[in-house]
Structures are given as C-alpha cells and as structure tokens.
C-alpha cells in the first residue's frame, strides 16, 4: 500500500510532523509518498529516516516540488 501526503506550502517542522503521524497508521512495509515545497525537507527527511529506522526509498525534485517515498520499518 502507498499512502499520499501533501505538505506543499508547509515549513519545517510541519512536513516531518505530518509524515510521522501518517506513518503511525501504516503497517510495516507500507510506503508513504510525500510532496513538499520546503527545500529544507530534503535534509529533514533523510535525517528522519536515519533516526527512525524507516527506509527513504526515493527522493526527487521536479519544478520546485520535492517528492519523498518512505517505507515504514517492519
């Protein structure tokens, strides 16, 4: 399952907080796709995944929108 989360227009730390809350509702192995516009979110999501044990599957940017795919740890 892949859940979607739109955090465009939100500044740090809101995208991380919203992602953390969304991940609570997912099962291990499920993915969360996040869209963000805050350039700081690139470093924030990398650090978030390192500290929580979740897997940052993908991190891309297109037209000022950063897209992250996080797989929840089992």
Ordered DSSP codes for 46-66: HHHHHHH--EEEEEEEETTEE
The active-site residue out of 3, 5, 10, 12 is 12
- C-alpha to C-alpha distance for 34 and 46, rounded to whole angstroms: 13
Q: Treating both helix axes as pointing N-terminal to C-terminal, what angle do 41-52 and 14-24 enclose, rounded to 10 degrees?
A: 40
Could you confirm whether 49 is annotated as catalytic? no
Q: Which residues are catalytic?
A: 12
């Amino acid at each position: 399952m892949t859940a979607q989360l739109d955090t465009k227009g939100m500044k740090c730390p809101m995208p991380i907080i919203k992602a953390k809350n969304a991940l609570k509702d997912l099962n291990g192995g499920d993915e969360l796709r996040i869209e963000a516009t805050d350039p700081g979110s690139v470093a924030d999501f990398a650090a978030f995944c390192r500290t929580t044990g979740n897997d940052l599957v993908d991190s891309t940017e297109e037209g000022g929108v950063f897209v992250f795919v996080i797989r929840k740890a089992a």
